[in-house]
């Protein structure tokens, strides 16, 4: 009969096998985050804001392989992608551009869990064009 470390390892392997494999950690809404950098940009359709969602579990551990889906308020927005998977650091990043000068609210849902934190981005009008 196995003893000590071997018994514990065997018990862990049996538990994993009986449960269908390793348990995937759940996304925690309050520990996950959404950041925008910079927080303002010109509404010229080319000046971009990077949106970075970070998926974390209840213990604050970053989660890889989760799907982050981004939603932006307002109009005339362009996202480089509407969704992106999280990497080894738990991060999924996309870019946002707009041609409409206005504040935008960005929200993210990670594996179906809405992050408690939203980000605010302000797109501003550029200088007036010179008369022709």
What pLDDT, in 10s, does the model give residues 55-74?
A: 999 999 999 999 999 999 99
Residue 43 has a pLDDT of: 98
Q: Is residue 15 scored above 90 in pLDDT?
A: no
Across 102-112, average pLDDT = 98
pLDDT of residue 89: 98
From the centroid of its chain, how far is CA 73? 16
Reported as a pLDDT band with limits 50, 70 and 90, residue 130 is: low
pLDDT band at 114 (very low <50, low <70, confident <90, very high): very high
> What's the token pair of residue 94?
């996309």
Over range 7-31, report the average pLDDT: 56
Res. 7 pLDDT band, cuts 50 70 90: very low
What average pLDDT does the segment 78-87 reach? 98
Q: Return the residue matching tokens 């996950």.
A: 32
13-52: burial string, b at 16+ Cβ within 10 Å, e else = eeeeeeeeeeeebebbeebbbbebeeeebbbeeebbbebb
């Amino acid at each position: 009969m196995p003893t000590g470390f071997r018994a514990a390892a065997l018990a862990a392997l049996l538990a994993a096998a009986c449960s269908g494999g390793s348990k995937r950690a759940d996304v925690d809404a309050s520990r996950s985050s959404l950041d925008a950098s910079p927080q303002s940009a010109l509404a010229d359709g080319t000046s971009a804001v990077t949106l970075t969602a970070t998926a974390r579990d209840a213990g604050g551990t970053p989660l890889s392989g989760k799907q982050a889906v981004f939603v932006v308020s307002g109009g005339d927005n362009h996202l480089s992608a509407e969704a992106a998977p999280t990497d080894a650091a738990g991060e999924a990043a996309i870019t946002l551009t707009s041609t409409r000068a206005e504040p935008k609210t960005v929200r993210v849902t990670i594996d179906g869990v809405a992050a408690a934190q939203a980000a605010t981005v302000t797109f501003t009008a550029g200088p007036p064009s010179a008369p022709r």
